[in-house]
Amino acid sequence: MATRREFVKSIPAVGTAFAVGGRLVLDDSSAQAQGAGAPLAGHFHPKGKAPSEFTLNVLRQAHGELPFGDTRDFEEQKKGLIAPMQDLKITADAGHVAWDMERFQFLDKQDEFDSIHPSLLRQSKLNNNYGLYEVIPGIYQVRGFDLSDITFIRGKTGWIVFDPLVSKEVVRAAWKLFQQHVGQGLPVSAVIYSHTHGDHWGGVRGIVDEADVRSGKVPIIAPVDFMEFTVSENVYAGNAMNRRLFYQYGLLLPASPHGYAGQGLGQAVSAGATTLIAPTRSVEKPVEEFEVDGVTMIFQNTPNTEAPREMNTYIPDMKALWMAENVTATLHNIYTLRGAQVRDPLGWSKYIGEALYRFGLEAEVMFASHHWPRWGNARIQEVLRGQRDLYAHMNNQVLHFANQGVTINEIHNVYEMPKGLQDKWFCRGYHGSAQHNSRGVVQRYLGFWDCNPTTLIPLSPSDSAPLYVEMMGGADKIMTRGQQLHDEGKYLLASEIVNKLVQAQPQNQAAKDLLADIFEQIGYQQENPGLRNSFLAAAYELRSGIPQGETATASPDVIRAMSTELFLNFLGIRMDSRKAEGMRFTINLITPDKGEKFIIELENATLTNIKGFLASKPDLTLMINRSDLELTMTGTKSLEAQIADGTAKVEGDASILKQLASTMVDFDPRFEIMPGTKAGGVVAKEDPYEADERQPIAE
Ligand SMILES: [Zn+2]
């Protein structure tokens, strides 16, 4: 049995939060075996339970309905294997383990597990393959080194790299394996970032020297506005998103039959150093054709699909179609459980349709940034058509129901994918699920309100729960009935009433333990890893509390990618406006090296900024080069120190900066989600003007 301390080693940098790239270090004090029910021997948690007969039935029935006769994914996954990776662990430069496939070996030891949905297990077995593959002569992939795949395409002078993973150490290891077998010692001649998510660029420094990019020797190509959208998607709500990742990605759960069983897109997110080098060439037009190291490529921009900025690429001479993350072996997220703006399924479907008719009618191989390639035009068309219809159906049929009055609180129980799509493995929900995506579509078009005034401005759960508990006859009655419902396998009903008790009595450990048992069974029953992890993560925190932690440092590359405006906007979010009542001032900020100017105003307990303007009578003018400001943003040198040594110049009332600093708050990523799980603790103090940015989120 793994200890909680061991779990922590599996936490990727991307999921931790309080300084960027920090990794939690847990203490072992709060996990104590106690409470009712029979704990399961071999379960990672002392309070963990075996799957019930009801759960076993659900999984058995699912098994019978799944298209196990279709084994093409397994053939496609292993096709072209050149060399498996021998080292199951890859060490980070900082000394910890950046990548660990050893912990997933249990998945291959049995054909079935009674606590893992058979469809999820199948996907995780496919993702357990780890090595170098030939896609076609001239195109190679290293798969299983991270959540995503890295691809190498033969150019005239070297290798064109698509999507260099999350961290530089795993990219370096992938490059080494590639060079041992295929690379012929040729250098990287270009890099292409298919989209803005962190698992598609974070390892770039593992393979490219920035000097070669600056000199123009190695171009980096990306969709238009790449840098703007790379960081912006997860700055404003970054702390909340990182906290929610502990649920979606099950970051505290050990890899085990009763815990974490893979993430669907890949096994996990690597935990090495995240890096970023800005692109040198943008693809601006909807469709653009040019040569990259002698290879003709046709780029198709697909904004606001899987990512805010993304592009597919067709290589006509090889009849090879790169579908980025727009088409992979899963139903993708329309709504993302870690929190993100809801995506546009109709637009996404149309871009797939366009790719089908522009390139898909002649392509002979299709590959992507997750999972494995598809060979042969018939198979490519089958997958493109299925994925096109998957997103369109979800959009259309959900809105069809919404137009008949089905609400966001019902749609997941009403919406079903057509049988034809359910029978296609690549349309099943290993990242998105029909349940949470259908709710997302309603959210996109109609928002959170179901139009019943009871839910319009409701009481907070903790305020309404005591009345429920009183009216239900008190805690004992709820526990008895909750246990009964649990024992009858009616887990969702049981969670309704036991959750009320936990909301009313956060210190009632027996209630928390019962709710954990209920969540655990619901978790075991899920096909979708995000849903499974969310229920199992909540069970973990109800049983053990939220772990304590310390942090490491941020990724300077990522912080440098924040625009000055984004940084100032985020200061407005970090400010606790209750501390700013009565303050009023105007600051002119000038960054001479970038030629930027801003008016920053604090008025009405609100911090605003407007780019491109200077006030005629500011209380303070602050002049600092953007390159120096970055030292403050990364926490390397405080603004105070920059002013003291003359790097930053001020005119006017400099005490304003102290006032502003006094309103800034450091966000704590260990905030409570389930009641009564907060153990307390101290967060390392950050500089008031630090860009409290979290790691960009992989997807
Ligand atoms: Zn990805």
State the pLDDT confidence band at 685, using cuts at 50, 70 and 90. Answer: low
Ligand 1 centroid to Cα of residue 232, in Å, is 17
Model confidence, pTM: 0.93
Q: What percent of the chain has pLDDT over 90?
A: 87
Average pLDDT estimate for 509-533: 98
Ligand 1 centroid to Cα of residue 516, in Å, is 31
Average pLDDT estimate for 23-44: 54
* pLDDT at position 339 over 90: yes
Ligand 1 centroid to Cα of residue 29, in Å, is 36
Ligand 1 centroid to Cα of residue 136, in Å, is 22
Ligand 1 centroid to Cα of residue 12, in Å, is 15
Ligand 1 centroid to Cα of residue 414, in Å, is 30
Cα–Cα distances (Å) from 45 to 5, 24, 314, in that order, read 13, 19, 48
Residue in this structure with the two tokens 């936490």, named with its chain if needed: 11
pLDDT of residue 553: 56
Ligand 1 centroid to Cα of residue 268, in Å, is 11
Question: Exposed, middle or buried by CB within 10 Å (0-12, 13-18, 19+), for 240?
Answer: middle
Ligand 1 centroid to Cα of residue 430, in Å, is 13
Pairing type for strands 649-652 and 139-143 reads unpaired
Q: Rounded CA gap, 689 and 607, in Å? A: 14
pLDDT of residue 699: 83
630 with 559: CB under 8 angstroms?
yes
Ligand 1 centroid to Cα of residue 550, in Å, is 28
Ligand 1 centroid to Cα of residue 699, in Å, is 4
pLDDT of residue 550: 54
Ligand 1 centroid to Cα of residue 697, in Å, is 9
Which contiguous run of DSSP H or E holds residue 311? strand 311-315
State the pLDDT confidence band at 150, using cuts at 50, 70 and 90. Answer: very high
Ligand 1 centroid to Cα of residue 204, in Å, is 15
pLDDT of residue 680: 53
* Torsion angle (degrees, nearest 10) of CA 487, 490, 494, 495: 120
Average pLDDT estimate for 611-628: 98
Question: Exposed, middle or buried by CB within 10 Å (0-12, 13-18, 19+), for 414?
Answer: middle
Average pLDDT estimate for 277-292: 98
Ligand 1 centroid to Cα of residue 325, in Å, is 6
Ligand 1 centroid to Cα of residue 318, in Å, is 24
Question: Exposed, middle or buried by CB within 10 Å (0-12, 13-18, 19+), for 137?
Answer: exposed
Ligand 1 centroid to Cα of residue 199, in Å, is 5
Ligand 1 centroid to Cα of residue 452, in Å, is 38
pLDDT of residue 690: 78
Ligand 1 centroid to Cα of residue 103, in Å, is 21
Ligand 1 centroid to Cα of residue 143, in Å, is 13
For residue 323, give the 3-state DSSP assignment.
Answer: coil
pLDDT of residue 692: 63
Ligand 1 centroid to Cα of residue 584, in Å, is 44
Residues 6 or more apart from 261 whose CB is under 8 A from it? 107, 113, 116, 120, 121, 124, 255, 529, 532
Q: How far is CA 621 from the centre of its chain?
A: 39
Among the listed ranges 203-212, 223-232, 550-559, 584-593, which one has the minimum average pLDDT value? Answer: 550-559
205 with 168: CB under 8 angstroms?
yes
Ligand 1 centroid to Cα of residue 307, in Å, is 9
544 with 516: CB under 8 angstroms?
no
Ligand 1 centroid to Cα of residue 368, in Å, is 10
Ligand 1 centroid to Cα of residue 142, in Å, is 14
Q: Rounded CA gap, 262 and 529, in Å? A: 7
Ligand 1 centroid to Cα of residue 249, in Å, is 14
DSSP per residue over 66-92, as a string?
S-TT--HHHHHHHTTEEEE---SEEE-
pLDDT of residue 28: 35
Question: Exposed, middle or buried by CB within 10 Å (0-12, 13-18, 19+), for 358?
Answer: middle
pLDDT of residue 200: 98
The pair of structure tokens assigned to 605 is 């307990």
Q: Rounded CA gap, 324 and 116, in Å? A: 29
Ligand 1 centroid to Cα of residue 42, in Å, is 33
* pLDDT at position 16 over 60: no
Ligand 1 centroid to Cα of residue 261, in Å, is 18
Pairing type for strands 585-591 and 620-623 reads parallel
Q: Rounded CA gap, 427 and 391, in Å? A: 10
Ligand 1 centroid to Cα of residue 58, in Å, is 30
Q: Strand pairing partners for 99?
A: 90
Burial code of 305-319, b = ≥16 C-beta within 10 A, e = fewer? bbbbbbbbbbbeebb
The pair of structure tokens assigned to 124 is 């995780």
